[in-house]
């Protein structure tokens, strides 16, 4: 059966450069935001103050005093006397003094009382309830249940393998799991699922796939889409489907098994992809800290950065193939 290809509009050299500049600016903007947000989060983690992670360059001195409970004496010690107007933002203060926003924010973060010194209140938010539920569940069943979920996710079942891996990273950061042992176990579980589907693909044909695949969520449309990815990207499809677009990894594994792809090449690409997947989920949880809510903006900027990078790759691929056809 002929594989339906996605035909993109032809790009002139000028159009290519314009789109490339826009995508590059978009990606660099979000990479910069990701770096700044992570730096603020990490500083707060080292200080032991979750509240300090919420400080941003747009916050005013009034916000620091009223919301973050920063003392006037502390601000005078950092900014000197007399203090700027309370309506002044950290960004404007940093610019007026010729210093970076991150440097000023780091100094101000050290003035925020630690979490234990603040009055704690149960706000009943969904994020707090979710944190508590996930911690209780993992504390009850331990790492084996996580490995089972990761294995089932690699086999194509609709389970939250990625989020649970992120939670294990958070708990490893807190010392509840051994980080190295947990990371290795998660990679092995995901890799085992990939290998099982590859071997299953070796033993089936496309007719069986089209007839029975829909029962497991693998329909003819998804098979054609994966075949198109293999034709366009080759082995890179395996790496991307283990990391950035892991939701199609099961279909890709089956199709790879049904193709003439060698086992060694498949294993190597899957392992690289799964290590990237581990870095995204487990690494995010481990390196950011033990609070899901405070990491939301970082994850958002990181996702947009990866999206921009992927779009740049697609742009170059399309332009290269178009130029090759013209030649």
What is the domain extent for residue 225? 126-326
**Residue 248, in any domain of the structure:** yes
Note whether 136 and 207 are same-domain residues.
yes
- The pLDDT value given to residue 13: 84
Mean pLDDT throughout 91-112? 91
* Structural domain count of the chain: 2
Q: Which of 48, 77, 111 is the last residue of a domain?
A: 111
Q: The dihedral of CA 249, 250, 255, 259: what is its sign?
A: positive
Q: Is the pLDDT of residue 4 over 50?
A: no
Lowest mean pLDDT among 7-16, 112-121, 193-202, 238-247: 112-121
Note whether 89 and 193 are same-domain residues.
no
Note whether 217 and 259 are same-domain residues.
yes
pLDDT digits (tens, 9 = 90+) for 201-232: 888 766 666 666 666 556 666 666 666 666 66
> In this predicted model, which residue has the larger pLDDT, 1 or 273?
273
Mean pLDDT throughout 117-133? 49
Q: Is the pLDDT of residue 327 over 50?
A: no
Euclidean distance between CA atoms 301 and 285, whole angstroms: 15
Residue 274, token pair as written in the block: 């799964």
**Residue 27, in any domain of the structure:** no
> In this predicted model, which residue has the larger pLDDT, 88 or 255?
88
Provide the pLDDT confidence category of residue 2 given band limits of 50, 70 and 90. very low
pLDDT digits (tens, 9 = 90+) for 133-182: 555 666 677 788 889 889 988 888 877 788 788 878 877 877 778 889 99
- Whole-number average pLDDT of the chain: 78
| Of 187, 166, 189, 201, nearest in space to 271 by CA | 187
Q: Which of 80, 111, 142 is the last residue of a domain?
A: 111
pLDDT digits (tens, 9 = 90+) for 288-304: 665 555 566 676 777 78
Q: Is the pLDDT of residue 29 over 60?
A: yes
**Residue 95, in any domain of the structure:** yes
Q: Which of 88, 111, 134 is the last residue of a domain?
A: 111
Peptide bond before residue 82 is cis, with ω within 30 degrees of 0: yes
Note whether 73 and 178 are same-domain residues.
no
- The pLDDT value given to residue 217: 55
Peptide bond before residue 73 is cis, with ω within 30 degrees of 0: no
Note whether 266 and 320 are same-domain residues.
yes
- The pLDDT value given to residue 164: 80
Q: Decide if 24 contacts 313 (C-beta within 8 A).
A: no
Mean pLDDT throughout 182-188? 94
For helices 161-173 and 179-202, the axis angle rounded to 10 degrees is 160
Note whether 155 and 178 are same-domain residues.
yes
Note whether 228 and 80 are same-domain residues.
no
Note whether 152 and 204 are same-domain residues.
yes
Q: Is the pLDDT of residue 9 over 80?
A: no
- The pLDDT value given to residue 218: 61
**Residue 40, in any domain of the structure:** no
**Residue 274, in any domain of the structure:** yes
Note whether 97 and 132 are same-domain residues.
no
- The pLDDT value given to residue 190: 93
- The pLDDT value given to residue 191: 94
Lowest mean pLDDT among 56-70, 71-85, 249-263: 249-263
Angle formed at CA 259 by CA 7 and CA 326, multiple of 5 degrees: 30
**Residue 298, in any domain of the structure:** yes
Note whether 106 and 172 are same-domain residues.
no
**Residue 232, in any domain of the structure:** yes
> In this predicted model, which residue has the larger pLDDT, 216 or 7?
216
**Residue 33, in any domain of the structure:** no
Q: Decide if 70 contacts 107 (C-beta within 8 A).
A: no
Note whether 237 and 145 are same-domain residues.
yes
Note whether 136 and 277 are same-domain residues.
yes
């Amino acid at each position: 059966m002929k594989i339906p290809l996605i035909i993109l509009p032809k790009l002139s050299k000028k159009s290519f450069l314009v789109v490339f500049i826009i995508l590059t600016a978009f990606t660099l903007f979000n990479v910069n935001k990701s770096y700044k947000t992570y730096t603020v989060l990490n500083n707060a983690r080292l200080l032991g103050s979750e509240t300090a992670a919420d400080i941003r360059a747009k916050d005013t001195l009034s916000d620091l005093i009223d919301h973050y409970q920063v003392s006037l004496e502390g601000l005078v010690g950092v900014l000197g006397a007399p203090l700027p107007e309370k309506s002044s933002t950290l960004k404007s203060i940093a610019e007026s003094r010729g210093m970076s926003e991150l440097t000023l924010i780091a100094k101000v973060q050290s003035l925020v009382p630690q979490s234990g010194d603040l009055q704690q209140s149960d706000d009943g938010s969904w994020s707090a309830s979710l944190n508590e539920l996930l911690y209780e569940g993992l504390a009850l069943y331990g790492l084996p249940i996580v490995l089972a979920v990761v294995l089932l996710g690699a086999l194509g079942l609709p389970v939250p393998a990625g989020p649970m891996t992120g939670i294990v990273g958070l708990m490893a950061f807190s010392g509840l799991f051994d980080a190295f042992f947990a990371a290795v176990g998660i990679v092995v579980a995901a890799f085992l699922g990939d290998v099982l589907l590859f071997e299953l693909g070796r033993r089936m044909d496309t007719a069986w796939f089209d007839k029975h695949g829909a029962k497991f969520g693998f329909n003819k449309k998804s098979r054609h889409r994966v075949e198109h990815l293999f034709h366009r990207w080759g082995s890179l499809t395996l790496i991307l489907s283990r990391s950035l677009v892991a939701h199609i990894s099961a279909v890709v594994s089956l199709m790879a098994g049904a193709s003439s792809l060698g086992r060694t090449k498949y294993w190597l690409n899957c392992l690289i992809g799964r290590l990237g997947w581990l870095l995204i989920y487990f690494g995010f949880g481990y390196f950011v800290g033990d609070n899901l809510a405070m990491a939301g903006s970082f994850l958002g900027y990181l996702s947009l950065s990866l999206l921009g990078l992927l779009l740049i790759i697609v742009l170059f691929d399309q332009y290269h193939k178009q130029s090759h056809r013209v030649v």
